[in-house]
């Protein structure tokens, strides 16, 4: 098979030989799996004759001949007249199209393959199809685009188009759009720092690991707010029933002229709906949440303590820098 493979690699030197259109860039003429041989060529008579000559040469030297009953021609996109010419010349049966993974399936179904060899075959198929820079998919289907950007086209194979369709469907399924929560515009679409928005989202989803949650999981036994040191710590308390956090919020709210109808986080979000258009108010509210949570963690882990004034100044500086690119508010 190695000798035959060498002869086939010389096929492109023949004047009448043309690569299969999808094999030009890969300089691919054939693939060998154990005793099976796949030859890829352009669908024209001269190329078929070039291959036939190559096989004749091999037979002449080796005395081995291809078994006609185990040989098939696979056509794709070849005009009927050309196809008839080729069939007349070769006398072969017709089968249209194939999928390379079918090879592995065929072998797996026919022969009991050792697990290591099966894995090796799968890897070879994957490398051939999906090789990062020179694989079949990246060269002929994606053509430099990403999987997500690749368009379905008529010329692409059914297999590929179907796979692309299924990938899109699965992606759409995984990112199923649910109805927007009322506070979504406050978290997204503001000038806030992403980490402030993220913390705000965790707060609204009750996703922060505060003390009442840790106690319910048996990870902690004492629940005492480290900001005021006189109350039970849960999300409503931290934002902003706690005297410390309430004081910080009042200073920040005065700075951005944000009316505070209530000190409950949920009610602030609802009663201040019209102010969602105010980027500075959004950014300040989310920054206040973030720095209160940070202060809570610093104190929990014996870090430095900030005062209400110090924390308010930090929030003001960070928001101003974020929105206006300077320290001047
Ligand atoms: Zn407190």
**Residue 183 to residue 269: CA distance in whole angstroms:** 7
Q: Ligand 1 centroid vs 224 CA: distance in angstroms?
A: 8
Q: What angle do CA 91, 105, 58 make, to 5 degrees?
A: 40
Q: Ligand 1 centroid vs 227 CA: distance in angstroms?
A: 5
pLDDT at residue 141, rounded to an integer: 65
pLDDT at residue 165, rounded to an integer: 57
Q: Ligand 1 centroid vs 300 CA: distance in angstroms?
A: 12
Nearest C-alpha neighbor of 287 from the set 195, 204, 203, 207: 195
List Cβ neighbours of 292 (8 Å cut-off, separation of 6 or more). 227, 238, 239, 240, 245, 248, 311
pLDDT at residue 301, rounded to an integer: 86
Q: Ligand 1 centroid vs 301 CA: distance in angstroms?
A: 16
Q: Ligand 1 centroid vs 69 CA: distance in angstroms?
A: 85
Q: Which two tokens stand for residue 73?
A: 């021609």
pLDDT at residue 329, rounded to an integer: 46
Q: Which two tokens stand for residue 263?
A: 């000190």
List Cβ neighbours of 328 (8 Å cut-off, separation of 6 or more). 320
Task: For tokens 């890969």, name the residue.
Answer: 26
**Residue 291 to residue 252: CA distance in whole angstroms:** 12
**Residue 249 to residue 182: CA distance in whole angstroms:** 21
Kind of pairing between the strands at 30-33 and 36-39: antiparallel
Nearest C-alpha neighbor of 23 from the set 119, 170, 128: 128
Q: Ligand 1 centroid vs 40 CA: distance in angstroms?
A: 74
Task: For tokens 């990403």, name the residue.
Answer: 146
Q: Ligand 1 centroid vs 168 CA: distance in angstroms?
A: 48
Q: What is the pLDDT along the chain (329 residues), one digit of tens a residue?
A: 777 888 888 888 887 888 888 788 778 888 877 677 788 888 888 888 888 888 888 887 777 777 766 777 777 778 878 877 787 777 643 333 334 444 444 444 445 666 777 777 777 766 766 665 666 666 666 666 666 666 666 555 655 666 655 666 666 666 666 777 777 777 776 678 889 989 988 888 888 888 878 887 777 778 889 999 998 888 889 998 999 999 999 999 999 888 887 677 777 766 654 445 678 888 898 999 999 999 999 998 887 889 999 999 999 999 999 888 765 44
Alpha-carbon dihedral sign for residues 161, 164, 168, 169: positive
First to last CA, the chain: 78
pLDDT at residue 108, rounded to an integer: 46
């Amino acid at each position: 098979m190695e000798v035959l493979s060498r002869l086939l690699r010389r096929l492109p030197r023949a004047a009448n030989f043309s690569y299969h259109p999808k094999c030009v860039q890969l300089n691919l003429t054939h693939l060998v799996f154990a005793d099976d041989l796949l030859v890829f060529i352009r669908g024209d008579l001269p190329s078929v004759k070039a291959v036939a000559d190559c096989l004749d040469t091999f037979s002449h030297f080796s005395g081995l001949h291809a078994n006609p009953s185990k040989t098939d021609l696979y056509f794709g996109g070849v005009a009927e007249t050309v196809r008839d010419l080729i069939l007349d010349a070769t006398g072969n049966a017709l089968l249209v199209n194939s999928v390379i993974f079918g090879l592995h399936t065929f072998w797996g179904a026919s022969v009991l393959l050792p697990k290591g060899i099966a894995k090796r075959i799968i890897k070879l198929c994957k490398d051939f199809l999906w090789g990062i820079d020179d694989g079949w998919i990246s060269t002929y289907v994606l053509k430099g685009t990403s999987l997500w950007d690749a368009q379905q086209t008529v010329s692409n194979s059914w297999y590929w188009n179907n796979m692309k369709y299924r990938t899109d469907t699965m992606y759409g399924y995984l990112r199923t759009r649910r109805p927007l929560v009322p506070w979504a515009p406050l978290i997204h679409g503001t000038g806030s720092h992403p980490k402030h928005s993220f913390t705000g989202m965790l707060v609204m989803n009750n996703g922060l690991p505060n003390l009442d949650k840790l106690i319910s999981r048996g990870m902690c036994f004492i629940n005492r707010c480290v900001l005021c040191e006189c109350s039970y710590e849960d999300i409503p308390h931290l934002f902003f029933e706690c005297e410390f956090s309430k004081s910080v919020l009042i200073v920040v709210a005065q700075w951005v002229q944000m009316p505070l109808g209530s000190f409950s986080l949920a009610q602030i979000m609802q009663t201040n709906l019209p102010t969602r258009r105010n980027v500075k108010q959004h950014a300040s509210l989310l920054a206040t949440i973030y720095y209160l949570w940070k202060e809570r963690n610093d104190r929990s882990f014996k870090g430095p303590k900030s005062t209400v004034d110090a924390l308010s100044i930090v929030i003001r500086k960070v928001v101003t820098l974020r929105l206006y690119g300077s320290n001047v508010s």
